[in-house]
Amino acid sequence: MSKTSAVRIGLIQMTCGDHPDRNLDRSISRIREAADEGAQVICLQEVFNMQYPCQAEEHSRFELAESIPGPTTIALQKIAKERSIVIVVPLFEKRTHGLYHNSAAVVDADGSIVGLYRKMHIPDDPLYYEKFYFTPGDLGFLAFPTKYAKIGVCICWDQWYPEAARLTAMHGAELLFYPTAIGWIPGERAEYGVSQYSAWQTMMRSHAIANGLYVGASNRVGVEGEIQFWGGSFMADPYGNVLSQATHDGEENVVVSCDLSLINTARTHWPFFRDRRIDAFGDLQKRWCD
Cβ–Cβ < 8 Å for 71, 94: no
d(CA 28, CA 25): 5
* Active-site option among 46, 174, 224, 252: 46
Smallest CA-to-CA distance from 93 within 102, 84, 85 is with 102
Indicate if 93 belongs to the active site: no
d(CA 233, CA 222): 13
d(CA 143, CA 172): 6
- Work out the angle at residue 220's Cα, subtended by the Cα atoms of residues 214 and 225, and round it to the nearest 5 degrees: 155
Indicate if 147 belongs to the active site: no
d(CA 229, CA 54): 13
* Active-site option among 54, 93, 119, 258: 119
* Active-site option among 156, 174, 224, 258: 156
Whole-number Cα distances in Å, 141 to 99, 117, 124, 138, 165: 20, 8, 21, 9, 8
**In terms of residues, how long is the chain?**
290
Q: What is the three-class DSSP state of 168?
A: helix
Whole-number Cα distances in Å, 170 to 12, 117, 150, 273: 27, 16, 12, 9
Whole-number Cα distances in Å, 130 to 54, 145, 190: 6, 29, 26
Indicate if 119 belongs to the active site: yes
Q: What is the DSSP letter of 148?
A: S
Side chain identity at residue 166, one-letter code: R
d(CA 111, CA 114): 9
**What positions carry a catalytic annotation?**
46, 119, 156
